[in-house]
Amino acid sequence: MRWQIIDSLLSGACQDISFIADQIRIAGFLYRAVVDALRNPRHRIHITIDPSVEDKALGGEYIPLPPNSNRLIFPFAKLDGNVETLASRCEAVVHECTHACIDYTKDRVLGSEEEVASWFADALFRRGQGLPIGGDLDFRKNFRVLADDARESNVRGKTFRVPETALGALEADFVHVHSKRDKTSQKAACGWVTGSNSAYR
């Protein structure tokens, strides 16, 4: 699983990703930093398989802080399955590793901004692999509108800047979805998050 994650992060579809969303910049070199931490003999980023994550309607989790710091958690043990299952699992990996990228930068960002950046990264990964960007949620639909422009910029070696109006709409969609789930998720989505960077020292 560790080496499958590394292969996904080093793939062209992931390394081509380059965008700025407000204060957050995501680019191939950040995924390479995560790869270096995964390759480290001391396993600076740990991987845990926990099927209960799926029960929370999550594809995975990244935990940056103690007591389980620098830990990727997934409900599956391999990147395998039919085309859609494999794509969904790779998307979850890119999403959670984007959280790890933001952790690496030590930037202080809003939880909603971090989630939007992570969702946009996995949408771009899908687009880079030539896969459809599915989902009925409003913010998934809005990602599809932006993904083609971003992908076109990326393959030309340019960094795509998410328009402020689009970013505001995406954050509002995200907070709305989480506020309907429970107050804890709403608080996490709206609160400030600061990267710990402890996996990369």
Give per-residue pLDDT as tens, 122-142.
Answer: 889 988 888 877 665 555 666
Q: What is the mean pLDDT of the chain?
A: 82
Give the mean pLDDT of 175-185: 51
User: Does the predicted TM-score (pTM) go above 0.85?
Assistant: no
Tell me the C-alpha distance between 76 and 63, whole Å: 17
Closest C-alpha to 140, from 112, 162, 121, 120: 120
Contact 104, 199 (CB under 8 A): yes
